[in-house]
């Protein structure tokens, strides 16, 4: 099967743990046909590290250098793509514009934290289910702002806060109450020619959840959505490629016949 992992990070990101070459080697070992590195470009940097300036966090020179090394070592063994995960664009639209205009193969648009708050990843729990629901309302509103900015190829992990609220801290929350808003959001994406991502990071380590889950994939498909990538969101070599094949099965179940790949920001469709 032609497997493509379209979401991953290297040490060119503040939270990556291996070089692009090491991640690419892992992709080859995992039997992938395409591997897209999508290092972080945070428009309102959330990383709690003293050596980073406030504002934009994207180490382009590091990515360029590491990508060139990986390409020279492994470019003949796998199709290697240069992607960027552009996040928090709504907090700094100028940075967002700069980031989505960097020449590359693929861009993800992301929302990791609400305006003025830390990344959900860094939040140390939630006070109550009600607090979670209020944050989800705010999240959906800010997601609309990210989509309004546009300029990226796929919207990443649409149900990102659930990764923490539900699956880390155990709150019984979902985004079902936002079905109308999500439907509207998906329609806007489709009109703009922007796709979505099936993030399969929740299939690792015995987990059985994806971001989003199958219901939202079916909704997107029923609205005419076709552009969709599948990504592991790997930050370690051992996570590269995990869950991609299962993700393809989910896409089929949701009515997709193809997965999307990118080169120079142009989509192609690969039969699954
Ligand atoms: Zn992300
Ligand atoms: Zn990521």
Q: What is the pLDDT of residues 88-101, one digit of tens each?
A: 999 999 999 999 99
Interval 242-268: pLDDT, tens: 999 999 999 999 999 999 999 999 999
Q: Which ligand is in closest contact with the Cα of 111? A: 1
Span 23-43, average pLDDT: 97
Q: Looking at the 3D structure of the chain, how many domains does it have?
A: 1
Distance 251 CA to ligand 1 centre (A): 20
Residue 262 CB-density burial (10 A; 0-12 exposed, 13-18 middle, 19+ buried): buried
Distance 235 CA to ligand 1 centre (A): 11
Q: Which ligand is in closest contact with the Cα of 233? A: 2
User: Could you list the residue range(s) of the whole structural domain that residue 190 is in?
Assistant: 4-271
Distance 7 CA to ligand 2 centre (A): 6
Where does the pLDDT of residue 46 fall: very low under 50, low under 70, confident under 90, or very high at 90 and above?
Answer: low
Q: Please, what is the end-to-end C-alpha distance for the chain in angstroms?
A: 8
* Tokens coding 47: 């990383």
At residue 47, the pLDDT reads 59
Q: With beta carbons less than 8 A apart as the criterion, state whether 211 and 244 touch.
A: no
- Main-chain dihedrals φ then ψ at residue 239, nearest 5 degrees: -95, -10
Q: Which ligand is in closest contact with the Cα of 8? A: 2
Could you list the beta-strand ranges (E) of the chain: 4-5, 34-42, 79-87, 106-110, 154-155, 195-199, 228-231, 258-263, 266-271
Interval 6-29: pLDDT, tens: 999 999 988 899 999 999 999 999
Distance 266 CA to ligand 1 centre (A): 21
Distance 147 CA to ligand 1 centre (A): 15
For ligand 1, a single-atom ion, which residues have Cβ within 5 Å? 110
3-state secondary structure of 95: helix
Which of 44, 1, 36 lies closest to 20, judged by CA?
Answer: 36
Global pTM reads 0.96
* β-pair type (79-87, 34-42): parallel
Distance 158 CA to ligand 1 centre (A): 10
For ligand 2, a single-atom ion, which residues have Cβ within 5 Å? 85, 233
Q: Which ligand is in closest contact with the Cα of 38? A: 2
Distance 178 CA to ligand 1 centre (A): 21
Where does the pLDDT of residue 122 fall: very low under 50, low under 70, confident under 90, or very high at 90 and above?
Answer: confident
Euclidean distance between CA atoms 44 and 53, whole angstroms: 10
Distance 109 CA to ligand 1 centre (A): 8
Q: Which ligand is in closest contact with the Cα of 9? A: 2
Distance 156 CA to ligand 1 centre (A): 6
**Which residue blocks in 53-212 are alpha helix, DSSP H?**
60-74, 93-100, 129-149, 160-165, 179-192
Euclidean distance between CA atoms 189 and 225, whole angstroms: 9
3-state secondary structure of 138: helix
Which CATH number is 184's domain given?
3.20.20.140
Contacts of 9 (CB under 8 A, 6+ apart): 15, 16, 37, 38, 39, 40, 85, 233, 234, 235
* Tokens coding 214: 């199958």
At residue 49, the pLDDT reads 53
Which of 182, 80, 171 lies closest to 128, judged by CA?
Answer: 171
């Amino acid at each position: 099967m032609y497997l493509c992992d379209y979401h991953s990070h290297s040490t060119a990101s503040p939270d990556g743990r291996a070089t692009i070459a090491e991640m690419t080697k892992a992709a080859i070992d995992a039997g992938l046909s395409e591997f897209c590195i999508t290092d972080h470009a945070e428009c309102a940097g959330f990383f709690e590290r003293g050596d980073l300036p406030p504002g934009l966090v994207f180490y382009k020179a590091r990515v360029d250098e590491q990508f060139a090394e990986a390409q020279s070592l492994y470019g003949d063994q796998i199709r290697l793509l240069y992607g960027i995960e552009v996040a928090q664009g709504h907090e700094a639209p100028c940075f967002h514009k700069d980031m989505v205009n960097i020449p590359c193969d693929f861009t993800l648009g992301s929302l990791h934290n609400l305006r003025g708050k830390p990344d959900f990843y860094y939040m140390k729990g939630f006070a109550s289910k009600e607090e979670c629901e209020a944050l989800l309302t705010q999240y959906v509103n800010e997601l609309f702002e990210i989509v309004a900015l546009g300029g990226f190829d796929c919207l990443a992990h649409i149900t990102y806060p659930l990764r923490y609220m539900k699956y880390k801290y155990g709150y019984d929350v979902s985004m079902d109450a936002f079905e109308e808003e999500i439907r509207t959001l998906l329609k806007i994406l489709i009109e703009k020619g922007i796709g979505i991502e099936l993030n399969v990071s929740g299939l690792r380590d015995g987990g059985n959840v994806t971001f989003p889950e199958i219901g939202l994939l079916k909704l997107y498909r029923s609205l005419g959505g076709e552009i969709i990538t599948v990504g592991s969101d790997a930050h370690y070599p051992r996570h590269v490629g995990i869950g991609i094949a299962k993700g393809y099965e989910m896409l089929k179940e949701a009515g997709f016949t193809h997965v999307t790949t990118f080169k120079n920001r142009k989509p192609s469709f690969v039969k699954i």
